Chains A and B, each alone.
Chain A
Amino acid sequence: MENRTFTISVYSENNVGLLNRISGIFLKRHINILSLNVSESEIDNVSRFIIVVETTEKWVKNIVGQIEKQIEVIKAFYHTDEETIYLENALFKIQSNLLFDEKQIQNIIKESQSTIVTVSRDFFVISKSGRRSEIEEVHAKLKPYGIMQFVRSGRISVSKEKMEVSTLLEELKL
């Protein structure tokens, strides 16, 4: 079986230590996490993990089985890239004078559909949401002008298919 990129979604209670418990499942199998995002979900008091890994389908099934087995995990799913809508977000901090001295920068912002988050005397910040490749393209274009700081978030994604976690929770309501 060949390695592919899988996005694992985990709906869980919001409890101390659960992140450790979930990351331990990857550690035990010597599988590297490519990206991790934890946030609130569409359901009150339920957290959602988005974990991206590159592995075989056999392993991702095994991992999802082990994650779902954890007491505080409500439901876990895995999807291929084709089955999800996903993006990452990146922030670029750049010297303010370049915005006026290097006209090309404005074109880069416009063409890449990035937005300017803030402008101050010394620096301005560009935000770009999209696929990894799109962010990398913007990065490559801005790099010659000098990037003061760069940061990219973990992947966030929603599935194309319906994930009926809310109804599942309704059934389980205790």
Chain B
Amino acid sequence: MKISGAEAVIRCLLEEGVDLVYGYPGGAIMPVYDELYKFKDQLHHVLVRHEQGATHAAQGYARATGKVGIAIATSGPGATNLVTGIADAQIDSTPMVCITGQVGKHLLGSDAFQETDIIGISTPVTKWNYQVTEASEIPEIIAKAFYIAKSGRPGPVLIDITKNAQFDEFEFSYKKCTGIRSYTPVPKLKLDKVAEAAELINKAKKPFIVFGQGIILGQAEEQLKALIEKSGIPAGWTILGLSALPTDHPLNVGMLGMHGNYGPNLLTNECDVLIALGMRFDDRVTGNLATYAKQAKVIHFDIDPAEIDKNVKTEVAVLGDVREALDALLPLIEDNKHEAWHNIFKEKYQIEFDSVIKEELNPTNNKGVSMGEAMEMINKHSKGDAIIVSDVGQHQMFACRYAKFNTTKSNVTSGGLGTMGFALPAAIGAKMGRPDREVVAIIGDGGFQMTIQELGTIFQTKVPVKIVVLNNEFLGMVRQWQELFFDNRYASTEMINPNFVAIAEGYYIKAKKVTKREDLDAAVAEMMASKDAYFLEVMVEKENNVFPMIPTGACVSDIRLS
């Protein structure tokens, strides 16, 4: 049967099991939207308020579900507005397929209305991209797009489809992609490397596990837990590894990196074997590489060969699927407790608790609600079962430092790119992907205003997300750096904010503002009990700082507590 390219796009999405897409229509993608109208019973399209919102919603959906997120936009500005989200998905390895309309093939290169070279623009920030100019290419290319986006180390793919290819008819048939000859998504696991790793781990006196999002993407949460419980090795997480292991697990020693916990950072430079699982030694984790874990033998488990020795020289590299690798490793690991070593982590935690955490969670100053106690209040009511979607800045660090998580895929945040404005649309995607779970967005007053228009999407779709804006009337993280490193010169970081509650209410979203500590508990309780979307603005201490902190370029063991 002959169908149009546009209809083929929809049928391909259905073949891939897609039932939800985010997007924004426009001239060059109208044939696809016409088919979306016809297929609305099978494929739900969410109209966002800006194309960037479509990408972040698709990312939130993908991160919360493990499935591929879809964003659709028109050519020109529609396509360029996707770029931030695509770059975010690339650096955070999020599976996403973006479909953009393009001017007709005969107009390519003519500077036609809304023509832009989105293939050229998106090349450095996509795992793969392709311009379709003939309708008959559509099934094979979309099949490839899904295969590439979700296989191996996941990432974003962009498919640009010229308008003629959407209109033209062809004989449709669909075959899922199962392999590409030039692409090896998962390197073959070498058992001798696993054995070498096991030997190093078994001999270690002070081993330390650091795990990243690879554990979540590789569905190796159970294997990770089994490994640490058998080996007794303390484990620290990167920001994207958070929630792969329950936060209250006794061997979970906290977050690595710039605003991570004191112990795991300090002891990175004291361990004798550092076991990195599905993480990429980002500079925010390592600080100065010249002084990072130099005393340790490093074992690196990763799916991406390009990550091996990229930043940190490894003693043993175990390439392959992390779940398969840990399954092979586990029987070779000897039972151990490493009690004395673990006690050092506990001592360091106590130091951090006494000098930072205690005051953060129960402030004795009269400067207002702290972000830490706001998070603690959310923990109290979520009981660690919510998906927390955080934006970027101080509140993000407080959210990641203090949020409690019982289950995996619960921490959704922009880690690598640090995209302000991520959380509100990402929360929409997370909630639509996991309607069974409570989704709470934690956003600063700065980031909230970068994608505030998505309140319109929340109103129109009635998606019951909970939005918490921690308002310190500053771009807090930049202000903190200005205070610490730029002699308090607060250049363009003070925000004169509008009435956020009135704005939320303008979108018919239930809204409340809390300014006093004594009102926080009841307000969070009311928000969490709400069946509908809810906006809660919490006025927080204006000039609070996130500590501990490893200043940029400093050594992990030079972590500051104040």
Using CB atoms and an 8 Å cutoff, list the residues of chain A in contact with chain B: 12-13, 16-17, 20-21, 24, 27-28, 61-62, 65-66, 68-69, 71-74, 169, 172-174
- Specify which of B119, B124, B148, B308 is in contact with A71 (CB 8 Å cutoff): B148
Pick the contact of A68: B127, B131, B179, B305 (CB < 8 A): B305
Would you list which residues of chain B between 118 and 157 have a CB under 8 Å from chain A? 119-120, 123-124, 127-131, 148
What distance in Å separates the Cβ of A20 from its nearest Cβ neighbour in chain B? Answer: 5
A174 — which chain B residues lie within 8 A by C-beta? 178-181
For A17, the chain B residues whose CB sits under 8 A away are 119-120, 123, 129-131
- Provided the pairs A71-B183, A74-B181, A174-B180 are in contact, do residues A65 and B306 lie with their beta carbons within 8 angstroms? yes
Q: Does B499 reach chain A (CB closer than 8 Å)?
A: no
CB distance from B153 to the nearest CB of A (A): 8
B168 interface residue per 8 A CB criterion:
no
Inter-chain pairs besides A69-B304, A71-B183, 9 sampled, C-beta below 8 Å: A12-B182, A20-B120, A21-B124, A68-B305, A69-B305, A71-B180, A72-B182, A73-B182, A172-B182
* Complex CA–CA separation, A174 to B305 (angstroms): 22
Which residues of chain A are within 8 angstroms of B130 by Cβ–Cβ distance? 17
A71-B128, A74-B181 known; A65-B148 Cβ under 8 A? no
Would A74 and B306 be within 8 Å (CB), given that A16-B131, A17-B123, A20-B123 are in contact? no
Contact B124–A28 (Cβ < 8 Å) = yes
Distance in angstroms between the alpha carbons of A21 and B120 in the assembled complex: 8
Residues of the A chain whose Cβ atoms lie less than 8 Å from the Cβ of B183? 71-72
B256 → chain A, closest Cβ, in Å? 22
B434 within 8 A of A: no
Closest to A16 in B: B131
| Nearest 9 CB-CB pairings of A with B | A65-B306, A172-B181, A74-B182, A71-B128, A24-B124, A71-B183, A174-B179, A174-B181, A69-B306
A68 touches B181 (CB 8 A): no
Check B305–A65 contact: CB distance below 8 A: yes
The CA of A4 and the CA of B178, in the complex, are separated in Å by 41
Of residues 297 through 329 on chain B, the ones whose CB sits less than 8 Å from some CB of chain A are 304-306, 308-310
Q: From residue B464, how far is it (CB to closest CB) to chain A in Å?
A: 39
Known contacts A17-B123, A71-B183, A174-B180: A65-B310 contact under CB 8 Å = yes
With A and B bound together, what is the CA distance between A16 and B180 in angstroms?
Answer: 17
**Alpha-carbon distance A27/B123, docked complex (angstroms):** 12
Q: What residue in chain B is nearest A18 (Cβ atoms)?
A: B123
Task: Report whether over half of chain B's contact residues are helix, strand or loop; otherwise say mixed.
Answer: mixed
Name 6 A/B residue pairs within 8 A (Cβ), A-sorted: A20-B123, A21-B123, A65-B310, A71-B148, A174-B178, A174-B179
A71-B127, A71-B128, A71-B148 as given contacts; A169 in contact with B181, CB under 8 Å: yes
Contacts of A66 in B (CB 8 A): 306
Q: Whose C-beta in chain A lies nearest to the C-beta of B177?
A: A174
Closest chain B residue, CB of each to CB of A58: B309
In Å, the complex CA distance between A69 and B308 comes to 13
CA of A116 to CA of B366 in the docked complex: distance in angstroms? 89
Chain A residues whose CB sits within 8 angstroms of the CB of B182 once the complex forms: 12-13, 71-74, 172
Closest to B180 in A: A71
Residues of B within 8 A of A12 (CB): 182
With both chains docked as a complex, state the minimum distance between the C-beta of A165 and any C-beta of chain B, in angstroms: 11
User: Is B123 a contact partner of A24 (Cβ separation < 8 A)?
Assistant: yes
- B308: chain A residues at CB < 8 Å are 65
Task: Please state if B306 and A68 are interface contacts (CB–CB under 8 Å).
Answer: yes
Taking the closest CB of chain A, its distance from the CB of B105, in whole angstroms, is 13
Give the residues in chain A near B129, CB-CB below 8 Å: 17
A73 CB to closest chain B CB (Å) equals: 6
**Chain B positions 276 through 311: 1 when the CB is less than 8 Å from some CB of chain A, otherwise 0:** 000000000000000000000000000011101110
Give the chain A neighbours of B131 by CB distance below 8 A.
16-17
Closest A residue to B183 using CB positions: A71
Q: Report Cα–Cα, A28/B91, bound state, in Å.
A: 14
Cα of A74 to Cα of B181 in the assembled complex, Å:
8
Give CA–CA (A69, B154) in the complex, Å: 12
Interface residues in B95-124 (C-beta closer than 8 Å to A): 119-120, 123-124
In the complex, what distance in Å separates the CA atom of A173 from the CA atom of B81? 38
Interchain nearest-CB distance for A71 vs B (Å): 5
Which residues of A lie under 8 Å from residue B128 when comparing CB positions? 71-72
A173 near B119 (CB under 8 angstroms)? Answer: no
A45–B74 Cα gap in the complex (Å)?
Answer: 34
Complex CA distance for A166 and B94, rounded to whole angstroms = 33
CB distance from B529 to the nearest CB of A (A): 47
Nearest A residue to B306, CB-CB: A65
Collect the chain A residues with CB atoms within 8 Å of residue B181's CB. 74, 169, 172-174
In the complex formed, the residue of B with least CB distance to A61 is B309
CA of A20 to CA of B123 in the docked complex: distance in angstroms?
8
CB distance from A137 to the nearest CB of B (A): 40
> Which residue from chain A places its CB closest to the CB of B120 in the assembled complex?
A20
CA distance A73 to B184 in the complex (A): 10
CB-CB under 8 A from A73, the residues of chain B are 182
Identity of the chain B residue whose Cβ is nearest the Cβ of A170 in the assembled complex: B181
Query: How far is the CB of B514 from the nearest CB of chain A, in Å?
Result: 44
Determine the distance from Cα of A62 to Cα of B307 in the docked complex, in whole angstroms.
9
Q: B285 CB to closest chain A CB, in angstroms?
A: 18
Cβ-closest chain B residue relative to A46: B182
Write the nearest CB–CB distance from A144 to chain B, whole angstroms: 45
Task: Name the residue on A nearest B178 (C-beta).
Answer: A174
A20–B120 alpha-carbon span in the complex (Å):
7
Query: Given the complex of chains A and B, what is the CA–CA distance between A173 and B179 in angstroms?
Result: 10
- Give min CB distance, B187 to chain A, whole Å: 11
Bound form: Cα–Cα A43–B144 in Å: 23
The interface residues of chain A lying within 8 Å CB-to-CB of B184 are 172
Interface flags, B517-553, vs A, CB<8A=1, else 0: 0000000000000000000000000000000000000
* Residue on B nearest A169 in the bound complex, by CB: B181
Docked CA distance A13–B144 (Å): 15
Give every chain B residue within 8 A of A27 (Cβ-Cβ).
124
Q: In the bound complex, what is the Cα–Cα distance between A16 and B119 (angstroms)?
A: 10
* Residues B184-215 near A (CB distance < 8 A): 184
Shortest beta-carbon distance, B214 to chain A, in Å?
15
Nearest chain A CB to B252 CB, angstrom units: 32
CB distance from B159 to the nearest CB of A (A): 13
Report the minimal beta-carbon distance from A19 to chain B, rounded to whole angstroms: 10
